[in-house]
C-alpha cells in the first residue's frame, strides 16, 4: 500500500510535471479553490445576520446594509469563480492534449522491435487508458484543487460550529438546559462525524483498490474492444465488411469483450454499492442527531434563530467538506497509480543501441554493406528466420533477392534497415558494425518501399516529401519517374490534393497501383545511396511493372539498389541475384548463370512463371 509520505511525494512530482506544461495552471487552481470555498459562507453568514436583524427589529437601513454587503461580496466572488473556471478548464484541456502528444512522441521514438512486442503494446494501452479514463495530469491538479477547497470549507465550518461548544448561561438551574448546553455534546457529535468519515475513507480505499484491479485485469480486453470499435468505423475496411459480411464477426467480438468487462464491473458495483449504503446510513443518522441537538438548543433559547440557520448550514458544509476531501484524496491516491503507468511508459528506454559514430559524407556514394555470419530470430520466438547469412552488397550494383514466401527475404531487409539487430553476427558499413553509427545518420542512407507500405491522409506532396522539405519541381519529377504524371495532371489541386477524406471532403481515393507509385516516388525523393524495393510492384500489371523497372534502373544508375520480387522477370535488370530458402542463401549469381543450373530453385521458379512473359 502506498505510504502517506510517498503519496505526497508523488503529488509533488505531478505538480512539477504540470508546471512544465503550464506554470500558471496550479496557482490558478489554488486561487479558484479559495474563491469557490468562500462563496457559500458569504450567504450562510449574512443570511443568519439578516434573519436575526429582522427578528430583533433592527432598522430597515441596517438590514439592507447586510443585504447589500452580501450581494456585493457574492457578486465579486461569482465573477472571479466564473473567470477562473474558464481559464482553468482551458489550461486543463491543453495539458491533457500535451499528455496524449507525449505518448505519441514517445511511441514514435521507440524501436520498431519494441512496437511489435505484446508487452509494449500493453504498456502503451495502459498509459493511454490510465490518462484518458482518469483525466490525466490536468484533472489530477483539479482534484488537488478540490481537496484544498474542501480544507478551506472545513476550516470555515469548524469556526462556525464552535458555537455548539459555547455555554450561554452556566448558572441556569434547569437540568435539561445544562445537559444541552454542555460542550461535550458538541465534541461527541464531532467525534461521531470523524468516525463516520474514517470509515468512509477505509471503504473508499477498498473500492478504489478493487477498481484499479479491474482496470489492470482488463487492459488487454479494453485494447481489443477498442480495436473492434475502430474497425467498425474504419472506412478502409468498409468494402470488406460489406462484401464478406464481416459485420457479424466485428459485432460478436465487440460484444464478447464488452460482456467480459461488464461482468467484472457489475460485480464491483454490487460490492461497492453495499459498502457505500452502510456508510451513507450511518452518516445520515449522525447528521440527524446533530440537527436534533441544534433544534433543542433553539427551543430552550440557548441560540438565536439566525444561529440555528448558521449552525445547520455549517454542520452540513463541515460534513460535506470532510466527506468530499476524503473522496477527492482517495481519488488522488488511485490517480497516482494510473499516472504512474503513464510516467512508466514515458521513462521506457529504447532497447536498441543507437550508436554515436558519425557517417562519412561521400559524394561518390561508396558505402559498402556486408552481412557477416548473421542469424536472427524474432523476440519471444525461438524459430530461426535467418541462418548464418554472409554476403556483400556491391556499391552501385543492382541486387535481386528472390525465394518462396517465408524464406527470410523481408527479414533480411529489416535487419539491413536496423529495424532489428541480428541475434548473432554483425552487419558492416564500410567495415564497421552498423550498431556503432549514429542511428539517424545511418537511416538517412536508406530508402525503402515495403510490401505493406502506408500512405498518410495528407497531400500527395506531403506523402512524397514526408514533410522534410518543400520542392514542388522535385516532387513532380519523381512522380513522373514513378509513372503518375497523367493522374496528377487531372487533379484540380495537383500535388496539393489530399489523399482520402480524413482531413478534406475533396480527398481522393487512389488505386493500389497508384499508391505504390507514390510510395516509390517517396523513396526516390529521399535521394539516398541505397534504395530497397520490397515487392513494390505487386499491385501493378506486368506492363506497368516493366515501365517502372526500366525507368527505375536508369534513375538509380549511380546508386545501390536491392529488389525483392516474386516476378522473376524483374531479376533480369539486376547485376546479381541471391536466392533465399528457409532463411539461408542457397544460390547466387546473375540471371543467366542461375538459369543454367536446371536443378536449382531459381530455375524452377522461373520455369513456373515463364508462360506469363517472354524470355
The answer to the question of residue 355 being in a domain is no
Residues 149 and 272 in one domain: yes
Beta bridge partners of 428: 370, 433
pLDDT at residue 183 greater than cutoff 50:
yes
Q: Which of 580, 583, 116, 584 is nearest to 385 (CA)?
A: 583
How far apart CA 330 and CA 321 sit, in angstroms, is: 14
Q: How confident is the model at residue 221, as a pLDDT?
A: 67
Helix and strand tally (H, E) in the chain? Answer: 21, 10
Q: What sign does the dihedral 259-262-264-267 (CA atoms) show?
A: negative
Q: Which helix (H) or strand (E) holds 243?
A: helix 238-243
pLDDT-based confidence at residue 434 (cuts at 50, 70, 90) = very high
Residues 129 and 40 in one domain: yes
Q: How confident is the model at residue 180, as a pLDDT?
A: 42
pLDDT at residue 353 greater than cutoff 90:
no
Helix axes 60-108, 4-21, angle to 10 degrees: 80
Cell triple for 357 = 559514430
- Give residue 461's domain range: 456-509
Q: Which of 218-232, 312-326, 365-379 has the highest mean pLDDT?
A: 365-379
Q: How many CB atoms lie within 10 A of CB 314?
A: 26
Mean pLDDT, the chain, whole residue set: 75
How far apart CA 447 and CA 466 sit, in angstroms, is: 12
Residues 464 and 450 in one domain: no
Residues 324 and 423 in one domain: no
The answer to the question of residue 337 being in a domain is yes
For 364-468, where are the E strands, in sequence order? 369-377, 384-393, 398-402, 424-429, 432-433, 446-449
Mean local confidence (pLDDT), 294-315: 69
Mean local confidence (pLDDT), 75-100: 80
pTM for this entry: 0.63
Q: What is the CATH number of the domain that holds 338?
A: 1.20.1560.10
Domain boundary among 509, 542, 575: 509
Residues 447 and 469 in one domain: no
Residues 184 and 59 in one domain: yes
pLDDT at residue 504 greater than cutoff 70:
no
Q: Which of 163-177, 253-267, 473-487, 533-547 has the highest mean pLDDT?
A: 473-487
The answer to the question of residue 210 being in a domain is yes
Mean local confidence (pLDDT), 400-412: 88
Which range has the worst mean pLDDT, 31-40, 140-149, 320-329, 574-583? 320-329
Give the pLDDT confidence of 380-404 residue by residue, as tens digits.
778 899 999 999 988 888 888 988 8
Q: How confident is the model at residue 428, as a pLDDT?
A: 93
**CA–CA distances in Å: residue 150 to residues 36, 143, 176, 189, 322:** 10, 11, 36, 20, 7
Domain boundary among 475, 509, 543: 509
Residues 467 and 559 in one domain: no
Give the pLDDT confidence of 195-234 residue by residue, as tens digits.
665 666 666 666 666 666 666 666 666 666 666 666 665 6
Residues 427 and 472 in one domain: no
pLDDT-based confidence at residue 112 (cuts at 50, 70, 90) = confident
Task: State the greatest distance between any 2 C-alpha atoms of the chain, in Å, as a whole number.
Answer: 126
How far apart CA 125 and CA 133 sit, in angstroms, is: 11
How far apart CA 479 and CA 468 sit, in angstroms, is: 17
Give the pLDDT confidence of 232-264 residue by residue, as tens digits.
656 556 545 555 456 666 677 667 766 766 666
How far apart CA 85 and CA 27 sit, in angstroms, is: 13
Q: How confident is the model at residue 606, as a pLDDT?
A: 85
Q: How confident is the model at residue 206, as a pLDDT?
A: 65
Mean local confidence (pLDDT), 518-544: 78
Q: How confident is the model at residue 177, as a pLDDT?
A: 44
Q: Which of 307, 332, 357, 11 is nearest to 164 (CA)?
A: 307
Q: What is the CATH number of the domain that holds 448?
A: 3.40.50.300
Cell triple for 329 = 484524496
Residues 385 and 504 in one domain: no
Q: How confident is the model at residue 175, as a pLDDT?
A: 39
Give the pLDDT confidence of 45-85 residue by residue, as tens digits.
887 788 778 877 778 788 888 888 888 888 888 888 888 88
The answer to the question of residue 403 being in a domain is yes
The string of DSSP letters for 516-535 reads HHHHHHHHHHH--SEEEEES
The answer to the question of residue 170 being in a domain is yes
How far apart CA 366 and CA 430 sit, in angstroms, is: 8
The answer to the question of residue 363 being in a domain is no
How far apart CA 605 and CA 361 sit, in angstroms, is: 40
Higher pLDDT, 507 or 292: 507
Percent of the chain with pLDDT over 90: 7
Beta bridge partners of 400: 563, 577
Residues 548 and 482 in one domain: no
Q: How confident is the model at residue 432, as a pLDDT?
A: 92
- The region that residue 462 occupies, defined by phi over 0 for left and psi between -120 and 50 for alpha, beta otherwise, is alpha
Write down how long the chain is.
615
Residues 430 and 558 in one domain: yes
Residue 293: which residues within 8 A CB-CB, separation 6 or more?
A: 164, 180, 185, 186, 189
Q: How confident is the model at residue 7, as a pLDDT?
A: 64
Residues 260 and 402 in one domain: no
Give the pLDDT confidence of 118-176 residue by residue, as tens digits.
777 777 776 766 566 555 677 778 778 888 888 888 787 777 776 555 544 333 344 33
Mean local confidence (pLDDT), 418-442: 91
The answer to the question of residue 427 being in a domain is yes
pLDDT at residue 289 greater than cutoff 90:
no
What's the domain count of the chain?
3
Q: How confident is the model at residue 273, as a pLDDT?
A: 59
The answer to the question of residue 100 being in a domain is yes
- Site of grid cell 488522488: 332
Amino acid at each position: 500500500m502506498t505510504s502517506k509520505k510517498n503519496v505526497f511525494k508523488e503529488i509533488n512530482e505531478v505538480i512539477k510535471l504540470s508546471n512544465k506544461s503550464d506554470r500558471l495552471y496550479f496557482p490558478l487552481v489554488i486561487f479558484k479553490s479559495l474563491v469557490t470555498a468562500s462563496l457559500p459562507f458569504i450567504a450562510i453568514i449574512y443570511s443568519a445576520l439578516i434573519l436575526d436583524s429582522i427578528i430583533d427589529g433592527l432598522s430597515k437601513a441596517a438590514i439592507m446594509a447586510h443585504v447589500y454587503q452580501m450581494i456585493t461580496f457574492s457578486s465579486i466572488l461569482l465573477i472571479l469563480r466564473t473567470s477562473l473556471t474558464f481559464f482553468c478548464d482551458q489550461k486543463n484541456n491543453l495539458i491533457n492534449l500535451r499528455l496524449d502528444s507525449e505518448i505519441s512522441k514517445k511511441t514514435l521514438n521507440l524501436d520498431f522491435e519494441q512496437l511489435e512486442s505484446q508487452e509494449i503494446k500493453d504498456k502503451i494501452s495502459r498509459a493511454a487508458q490510465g490518462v484518458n479514463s482518469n483525466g490525466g495530469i490536468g484533472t489530477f491538479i483539479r482534484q488537488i484543487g478540490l481537496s484544498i477547497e474542501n480544507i478551506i470549507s472545513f476550516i470555515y465550518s469548524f469556526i462556525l460550529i464552535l458555537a455548539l461548544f459555547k455555554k450561554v448561561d452556566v448558572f441556569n438551574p434547569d437540568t435539561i438546559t445544562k445537559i444541552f448546553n454542555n460542550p461535550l455534546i458538541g465534541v461527541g457529535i464531532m467525534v461521531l462525524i470523524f468516525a463516520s468519515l474514517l470509515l468512509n475513507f477505509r471503504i473508499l480505499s477498498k473500492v478504489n483498490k478493487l477498481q484499479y484491479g479491474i482496470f489492470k485485469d482488463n487492459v488487454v480486453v479494453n485494447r481489443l474492444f477498442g480495436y473492434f470499435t475502430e474497425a467498425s468505423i474504419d472506412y478502409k475496411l468498409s468494402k470488406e465488411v460489406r462484401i464478406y459480411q464481416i459485420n457479424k464477426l466485428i459485432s460478436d467480438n465487440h460484444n464478447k469483450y464488452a460482456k467480459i468487462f461488464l461482468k467484472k464491473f457489475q460485480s464491483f458495483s454490487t460490492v461497492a454499492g453495499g459498502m457505500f449504503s452502510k456508510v451513507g446510513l450511518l452518516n445520515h443518522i449522525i447528521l440527524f442527531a446533530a440537527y436534533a441537538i441544534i433544534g433543542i438548543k433553539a427551543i430552550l433559547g440557548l441560540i438565536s434563530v439566525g444561529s440555528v440557520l448558521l449552525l445547520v448550514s455549517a454542520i452540513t458544509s463541515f460534513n460535506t467538506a470532510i466527506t468530499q476531501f476524503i473522496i477527492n484524496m482517495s481519488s488522488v491516491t488511485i490517480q497516482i497509480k494510473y499516472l504512474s503507468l503513464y510516467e512508466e511508459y514515458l521513462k521506457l528506454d529504447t532497447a536498441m543501441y543507437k550508436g554515436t559514430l558519425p557517417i562519412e559524407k561521400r559524394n561518390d556514394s561508396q558505402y559498402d554493406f556486408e552481412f557477416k555470419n548473421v542469424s536472427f530470430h524474432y523476440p519471444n520466438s525461438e524459430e530461426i528466420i535467418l541462418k548464418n547469412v554472409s554476403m556483400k552488397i556491391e556499391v552501385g550494383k543492382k541486387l535481386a533477392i528472390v525465394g518462396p514466401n517465408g524464406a527470410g527475404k523481408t527479414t533480411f531487409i529489416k535487419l539491413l534497415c536496423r529495424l532489428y539487430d541480428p541475434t548473432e553476427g554483425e552487419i558492416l558499413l564500410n567495415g564497421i558494425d552498423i550498431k556503432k553509427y549514429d542511428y539517424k545518420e545511418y537511416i538517412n542512407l536508406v530508402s525503402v518501399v515495403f510490401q505493406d507500405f502506408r500512405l498518410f491522409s495528407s497531400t500527395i506532396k506531403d506523402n512524397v516529401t514526408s514533410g522534410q522539405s518543400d520542392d514542388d519541381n522535385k516532387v513532380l519529377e519523381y512522380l513522373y519517374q514513378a509513372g503518375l504524371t497523367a493522374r496528377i495532371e487531372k487533379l484540380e489541386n495537383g500535388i496539393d490534393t489530399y489523399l482520402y477524406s480524413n482531413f478534406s471532403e475533396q480527398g481522393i481515393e487512389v488505386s493500389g497501383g497508384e499508391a505504390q507509385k507514390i510510395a516509390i516516388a517517396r523513396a526516390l525523393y529521399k535521394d539516398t545511396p541505397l534504395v530497397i524495393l520490397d515487392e513494390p510492384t505487386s499491385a501493378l500489371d506486368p506492363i506497368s511493372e516493366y515501365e517502372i523497372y526500366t525507368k527505375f534502373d536508369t534513375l538509380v544508375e549511380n546508386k545501390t539498389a536491392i529488389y525483392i520480387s516474386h516476378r522473376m522477370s524483374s531479376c533480369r535488370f539486376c547485376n546479381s541475384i541471391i536466392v533465399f530458402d528457409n532463411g539461408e542463401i542457397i544460390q547466387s549469381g546473375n540471371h543467366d548463370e542461375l538459369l543454367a543450373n536446371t536443378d536449382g530453385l531459381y530455375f524452377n521458379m522461373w520455369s513456373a512463371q515463364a508462360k506469363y512473359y517472354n524470355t
